[in-house]
Structure 1
Amino acid sequence: MMKLLQFGAGNIGRGFIAQIFAHAGYEVVFVDIDDVLVRELNRQHRYRIEVKDASPQTLWVEGVRAVHFNDRDIVVKEISTADIAATAVGAQALPSLYPVIADGLVERWRSGGGPLDIIICENLRNAAEIVRRGLQEHVPPNFPLDEMVGLVETSIGRMIPLMPDEVRRAEPLLIYAEAYNTLIVDKKGFKNPVPAVPQIDAKENMKAYVDRKLFIHNLGHSATAYIGYVTDPKMVYIWQAVEHEDVRPLVERVMWESGHALIAEYPDEFNEVNQQEHIDDLLRRFANRALGDTIHRVGRDLLRKLGPNERLIGALRLDLKHGIEPDATIHAIAAALLFRATDDKGQLYPRDEEFVKVWYPKGVEAILTEISHLDLDNPLHRTVIQRVKESHDRLAIMRK
């Protein structure tokens, strides 16, 4: 039996990647730092996914096991014998994997094993190059890294909400997910043949699809949360925002600004017809009441989402590059600055609390230059900063 080594047993690792590989006949071995998840995976050797959609479905993922990340020697051995690997740990945690993956690749090489393809399931542009540089720092001099590892970028479209605390305590392995389960991957990243997994869609021009995911899907999802929140701070669910008569048209405009910029950037991949189909499908999925996705979950982590190449500012830069008027995107950025949605306990996300206490008092210009890295010496950026400030001020007055 072929073996997938899955780093990260969280929402995407357990709720998407492991599912499609297990159902294709792979043994799935998780590597995770969470004691409860590791214990329960090794005790039950299976878990349940509840598909929350118009046609609900229960999926079982069978024959799984787990290794604790701190059991380094065992993890190295698993890497040396895996047929394929994947990461889904979050961009901030990704560097913690480099030393052990490097050791596993060295062990694999010394034992005469072939190259290992690693599917990188992170919201991260240029992920393959970032991971390659990280691994390079931990392998011996003259180690044939590029011969021993294939680094495969992805576009992860499946939406998985946060599990309620009481559900997670009662059944730690249970996952809720939407029905969508296509995994777009970089065909050119593989050293071995593309896995025979039906849900895998291998693309030649992966950069186009990474950018589409970030600048239409992620942007539109976050804009729904931010615009929904400033429209009515009492909204809880994303579907409520999508169904609001003032929110949906503005979110659609945000998505289309990026849609037009992406057509200009990748004319061989995108056009008005396939962008319209994609945007309509996303808005339908955002409106999925059964999924129960919250405005807090989708909008949280402002310090990351206002980053220079992230969904908001990266999309803005692409609009400016191609002469697309970014009026709705500017409105979404201004709304993000006022985002204060809390979880079911009334708590801000910890990094959002830092944003509110440390960064927001510094003002719009400081946020957009120091976090978003817009350049006051660039006339286009300077104009955008002023427009965001004006939009922010109008929204702030309306909220009082």
Structure 2
Amino acid sequence: MKPLFVQWGGGNIGRSFIARVFFQSGFRILFIDINQGLVDALNMTRSYTIESVFEEKTTTLVVSDVSAIHASDQEAVNEAIAEAAFLGVSVGRGAWPYIAPSLAQAISYRHARQPDNQLDIILAENIHGCRQFAASLLQPHLSAEVLLDAYVGLAETSIGKMVPIQDPTNPLILRSEPYNDLIVDQKAFHHPLPPSKDIHAVHPIAAYVDRKLFIHNMGHSAAAYLGFALHPDRLTIAEVLKDGSICSQVEEAMKESRDVLLALYPGVFTPSDLDDHIQDLLRRFSNHALGDTVHRVGRDLKRKLRFDDRLLGIIIEAQKLGMHWEGIGRMYVKALSFEAPDAGGTPFLDDVRFLSSLIGLSWREKIRTASSWDESTLSRDLLDVVANKMELLM
């Protein structure tokens, strides 16, 4: 019998990316999810379809040998994780406090039956410091016999695959880009990884997590913020990037991040490595067939404008190093008036509330509030420097 890969979280990344990689490496796939409709559909068909699209080309893959259980069925969760060769988790930061007690119980159950068979968990989340974040939530719920570091491999990842908003009426067909590089922490695993052209074990993983956040995520959101400012009628990222001026300004911002990453991680990347990465990303961002919208890429401003996220996070590092960040700063300024609606003309309500909370504030207070600066340990002097420089970019 083929080994079992358990994927906790059957959303877009879980199904179109993580489970796909392990299916193509010879694993059976079992999903754990809270969506009963999805669980029932997967159990009825025992398969689903992934359509990989790039411009005029579509490639179809049927992922078979699939089953699913509801996350509330603790007994089934325990048995699945006890049998798993590997576990993937992709649920998002907000869901982790809810799944952690159940996951810890399942880990304890496995340990009681297989104390010498450690569990490797692929943390397929775009969360900075995800290993420490997950460990802090799991530890209080583990049985006393389980030593977390000794028994559980918490492997951070860099998730670069882009998956647009899907058709909710058919959960068994997903559209995504044909990018499937799963970058994982080389040092985190207790067991050998399966041979796969798509799995890339790297060290230090922090450099690749930062590359994803500060080049990929930053550049993608920059295209949304600048694109909406200049072409509010264009719905997709590919459409706004047809404007050569937007493409050039986004590339300039990405290269500012490149320079900072080279300074932060000497010897990990080369300038040509990161330049090639930037050009590949711009090509992928411009994939018309994907239909990725300005609304999806730019929304959730409260998170994306934080002091530790894609824009301000790299601005702060650049400022500390005395390096240029004006291109990125212009994108942050544009984000403060981002109101792109979805395809039906509906704005993202959380962003409407967020932007309303900034009305009437001084520029410094606007940046302090938008960035959640008070939640950081960063100095007020640094805030003043960053806010003053940004004001000049308006």
TM-score normalised by the shorter chain: which range applies? over 0.9
Structure 1 residues 390 and 211: CA distance shift in structure 2, 3 A: same
TM-superposed deviation, 1:378 = 4.2
Residue aligned with 1:175, SS? strand
Quote the Cα distance in structure 1 between the aligned partners of 2:8 and 2:212. Answer: 22
Match of 2:84 in 1: 82
1:79-131 CA-to-partner distances (Å, cap 9, x unmatched) read: 12211101111121122221111101111111124111100011111111111
Of 373-382 and 217-226, deviating more is 373-382
Q: Give the structure 1 partner of residue 188 of structure 2.
A: 189
Matches of 2:307 and 2:277, distance apart in 1? 25
Deviation at 1:382, TM superposition (A): 0.9
Q: Distance in 1 between matches of 2:303 and 2:148?
A: 30
Measured after TM superposition, the shift of residue 75 of structure 1 is: 0.9
Q: What residue number does 1:319 align with?
A: 318
- Aligned residue in 2 for 1:205: 204
Amino acid at match of 1:372: S
Give a deviation string over 1:202-230, Cα, whole Å, max 9, x none: 00211100000000000000000001011
The separation in 2 between residues aligned to 1:58 and 1:270, in whole angstroms, is 34
- Give 1:133's aligned residue: 136
Tell whether 2:13 aligns with 1:38: no
> How far apart, CA to CA, are the structure 2 residues paired with 1:343 and 1:370?
25
Partner amino acid, structure 1, of 2:152: V
**Is the 8 Å Cα contact of residues 24 and 198 (structure 1) preserved in structure 2?**
no
Aligned to 1:15: 16
Partner of 2:95: 93
> Aligned residue for 2:222?
223
Deviation at 1:390, TM superposition (A): 4.3
Which letter does structure 2 place at the counterpart of 1:36? Answer: G
The reply on whether 1:294 has 2:293 as its aligned counterpart is yes
SS across alignment from 1:50? strand
Paired letter, 2:158: S
Give the letter for the 1:67 counterpart.
I
The SS at the match of 2:121 is: strand
- SS state at 1:140 partner: coil
The alpha-carbon deviation at position 282 of structure 1 amounts to 0.4
Count residues with an aligned counterpart. Answer: 388
The 2-side partners of 1:128 and 1:282 are apart by: 26
1:274 and 2:277 matched: no
The 5 A counterparts of 1:341-356 are: 341-356=340-355
- Residue 236 of structure 2 corresponds to which residue in structure 1? 237
The aligned counterpart of 1:398 is none
Give the Cα separation in 2 of the matches to 1:16 and 1:146: 27
Secondary structure of the 1:6 match is: strand
Letter in 2 for 1:140: S
SS in structure 2 of the partner of residue 333 of structure 1: helix
SS in structure 2 at match of 1:28? strand
Distance in 2 of aligned mates of 1:120 and 1:344: 31
Q: Which residue of 147, 160, 167 corresponds with 1:144?
A: 147
Query: 2: distance between equivalents of 1:4 and 1:35?
Result: 20
Give the conservation status (yes or no) of the 8 Å contact 1:2–1:26. Answer: yes
Distance 1:361 1:60 in 2: 53
Deviations 1:232-251 (A, max 9, x none): 11111101122212211110
**Which piece of structure 1 moves more, 185-194 or 369-378?**
369-378
Relative distance call for 1:220 and 1:321 in structure 2 (3 A) is: same
Q: CA RMSD in A?
A: 1.6
SS in 2 for 1:94: helix
SS in structure 2 of the partner of residue 243 of structure 1: coil
Amino acid at match of 1:338: S
Counterpart CA distance in 1 for 2:366 and 2:7 is: 37
| Deviation of the 1:373 alpha carbon | 4.2
Q: What are the superposed Cα offsets for residues 292-339 of structure 1, whole Å, 9 maximum, x if unpaired? A: 111001001001101121101111112112221111111000011110
Residue identity in the other structure for 1:168 = P
Q: CA deviation at 1:146?
A: 1.4
Q: Percent identity?
A: 38
SS at match of 2:244: coil
Q: Which residue of 1 aligns with 2:104?
A: 102
Deviations 1:276-295 (A, max 9, x none): 10101000110111111110
Residue 116 (structure 1) aligns with: 119
Q: Is 2:335 the counterpart of 1:333?
A: no
Where do 5+ consecutive residues of structure 1 fail to align?
A: 395-400
For residues 227 and 248 of structure 1, the distance between their equivalents in structure 2, rounded to whole angstroms, comes to 10
C-alpha spacing 1:63/1:142, structure 2 compared with 1 (3 Å): closer
Give the CA deviation at 1:140: 2.9
1:180: Cα distance to partner?
Answer: 1.0
Q: 2:38 is aligned with what amino acid?
A: L
For 2:253, give the aligned amino acid.
Answer: V
Q: 1: CA distance between counterparts of 2:335 and 2:235? A: 16
Please say if 1:253 is aligned against 2:255: no
Greater Cα shift, 366-375 or 198-207? 366-375
Deviations 1:331-378 (A, max 9, x none): 000011110001122112232122123344545433422342448954
Is 1:48 the counterpart of 2:49? The answer is: yes
Scaled by the length of structure 2, what TM-score is found? 0.95
The 8 Å contact of residues 119 and 152 in structure 1, kept in 2 or not, is answered as: yes
Q: Which amino acid aligns with 2:37?
A: V
Residue aligning to 1:58: 60
The 1:58–1:109 alpha-carbon spacing in structure 2 relative to 1, beyond 3 Å, is: same
- Could you tell which deviates more after superposition, 52-61 or 294-303? 52-61
Structure 2: runs of 5+ lacking an equivalent? none
Mapped contact 1:258–1:318 kept (Cα < 8 A): no
Amino acid at match of 1:139: L
